[in-house]
Structure 1
Amino acid sequence: MGTEAEETIALITAIVFIFLVIIIIILFLVFIKRKNKLLTEKQQAQREFENAIAETQIEIREQTLRNISWELHDNIGQLLTLAKIQLHQLADCNEDISGVSDTISKSLTELRALSKLINPDALKNIMLPEAVSLEVARFNRLNFIEATLTIDGDEKIIDDKAEIILFRILQEFFSNTIKHAKASQLDVQLKYTDKKLTIVATDNGKGFDKSVEKPNKGIGLQNMKNRGKLIGAEIELESQVGKGTQLTIIHYL
């Protein structure tokens, strides 16, 4: 009798123990799940915050560029046009004003091109290859740098916002190449496939040592990456001292 009671107690104890273990495991799994959910939500909130900050910075810069575009087109452009008309009215005088007239004509052409390039609204009406082509042509026309553009594959339609962001990233690289890299050559390649657009911009400037210098500070790499995040683009920057710098952008279509 006593043996049966002991066995029953042992059985009940074992069942209770197993039940408690199951409860503990369930509670642990629930805790882990909730913890992972909180971490995911926190990471998502951080990503949204970073994207919002990057997008705000872009909007501020875009509005500034839009204002400059209007000023160039409406004010300076009109003044140069008036000056050209006035010069033509003096055509009967003995002085040779052809050189001045040509200079004003070139200035008007340059202002119109610059106005178009820096105005986001204008960029919405042209494709990325055309925008980059206009920029490359401007560099060559003004003797800023010897620049080339190569387009491989069939051109694909890209979202307007994505095109503007890609173009701004390239502009930031171009600006660094011309102003700081002391480069004489800039080569840009747009390669289209069915699934992605790969953009490679390479200069032959002084370059830098990534293990020593911080490209995020000097060339705005972090800013480029923040912009790239908004459209899911991958940004890579490679450089060697004395051998130039290469920017690679991969945008999935």
Structure 2
Amino acid sequence: MQQQETAILIASIILIVLVVLIIFLFLIFQKRKNSLLEQQAAAKKAFEKALAETQIEIREETLRNISWELHDNIGQLLTLAKIQVNIAQDDPERLPEVTDTISKSLKELRALSKLINPDAIKNLSLTEALSLEIERFNRLQFIAATMNVEGELRLIDGKAEIIIFRILQEFFSNTIKHSKADELNVLVHYKTDRLEIKARDNGIGFNQHTASPRQGIGLLNMQSRGKLINAVVKLHSREGEGTAILLTYYYKKPIAGMEA
């Protein structure tokens, strides 16, 4: 009888220990789950904030481009047309020059309208948006630029496309403003599991080990933006050998804070 009571007591103790252990493990699991949910929420919030900032930066860059084109490009063409009209009043044979200048102005205005229309920009794919940038560089003779697309085009998350476009736009801007390059080559390669974008200029380059704060911050900005969409951004440059960027984006990796 005493042995039976002892067995029951031991069994009860074991049961209590198991219950306590299960409750303890459940609490740990719940705490980790809550912590993970908080991290995901924070990551999502950070991503949405970065996305909003990126959209604002793209809009500001677009407005700067529009302002520049209106003032220094289309404005100059219309001023030239006005001068040609005055000359043509005394020399009618110069009228074809006026027609040609006005035609160029209309062409520039049509190209500019693509930038002004937010719906048009919003509905562009990544390659179409990059192509517009390349066309603009060549049209305004900023730099001799080329873009090649390889592989079968893949649908990419719209938010990721915005981040990728801004990273490359920042690289292009640095190339035109600081590199003293006259050539820019861009390769967009859609591979089976990832998108690779390589851009290279033939400018003066710089020493990455002794880079200026501006260059260092620029690279960190591009890399931090890439991390938001689980993309890898690498910059390579040497003095006298130009600068290149390699962006690798994996299709199946979830965006930060967007995990199921």
TM-score normalized by the length of structure 2: 0.70
Alpha-carbon spacing, 1:64–1:86, altered in 2? closer, same or farther (3 Å): same
* Deviation at residue 191 of structure 1 after TM alignment: 1.4
* Deviation at residue 10 of structure 1 after TM alignment: 3.7
Q: Partner residue of 1:201?
A: 199
Q: Does 1:238 align with 2:235?
A: yes
Matched residue type, 1:171: Q
Q: Which residue of 57, 61, 68 corresponds with 1:61? A: 57
**Does the 8 A contact of 2:183 with 2:201 survive in 1?**
yes
Q: Partner residue of 1:48?
A: 44
State the Cα RMSD in Å. Answer: 4.2
1:199 is paired with a residue of what secondary structure?
A: strand
Alpha-carbon spacing, 1:177–1:82, altered in 2? closer, same or farther (3 Å): closer
1:201 is paired with a residue of what secondary structure?
A: strand
Q: Partner residue of 2:258?
A: none
Larger radius of gyration: 1
Q: Partner residue of 1:93?
A: 90
Q: Partner residue of 1:179?
A: 177
**Does the 8 A contact of 1:202 with 1:246 survive in 2?**
yes
* Deviation at residue 8 of structure 1 after TM alignment: 4.3
Q: Which residue of 17, 31, 43 corresponds with 1:21? A: 17
Moved more, 20-29 or 73-82: 73-82
Task: Choose between structure 1 and 2 for higher RCO, CA contacts under 8 A separated by at least 6 residues.
Answer: 2
**Does the 8 A contact of 1:80 with 1:104 survive in 2?**
no
* Deviation at residue 22 of structure 1 after TM alignment: 0.7
* Deviation at residue 173 of structure 1 after TM alignment: 1.2
* Deviation at residue 120 of structure 1 after TM alignment: 4.0
1:219 is paired with a residue of what secondary structure?
A: helix
Question: Identity percentage over the alignment?
Answer: 37
Aligned equivalents of 2:179, 2:16: Cα separation in 1: 68
**Does the 8 A contact of 1:225 with 1:234 survive in 2?**
no
Uncovered stretches (5+) of structure 2, i.e. residues with no partner: 253-260
Uncovered stretches (5+) of structure 1, i.e. residues with no partner: none
1:48-127 matches, within 5 Å, as 48-64=44-60, 83=79, 86-90=82-86, 91-93=88-90, 109-110=107-108, 112-114=110-112, 116-117=114-115, 120-127=118-125
Q: Partner residue of 2:257?
A: none
Q: Does 1:133 align with 2:131?
A: yes
Aligned equivalents of 1:214, 1:13: Cα separation in 2: 72
* Deviation at residue 25 of structure 1 after TM alignment: 1.4
Q: Which residue of 30, 33, 36 corresponds with 1:37? A: 33
Q: Which residue of 185, 188, 191 corresponds with 2:189? A: 191
**Does the 8 A contact of 1:224 with 1:235 survive in 2?**
yes
2:35 is paired with a residue of what secondary structure?
A: helix
Moved more, 83-92 or 61-70: 61-70
Aligned length: 247
* Deviation at residue 37 of structure 1 after TM alignment: 0.7
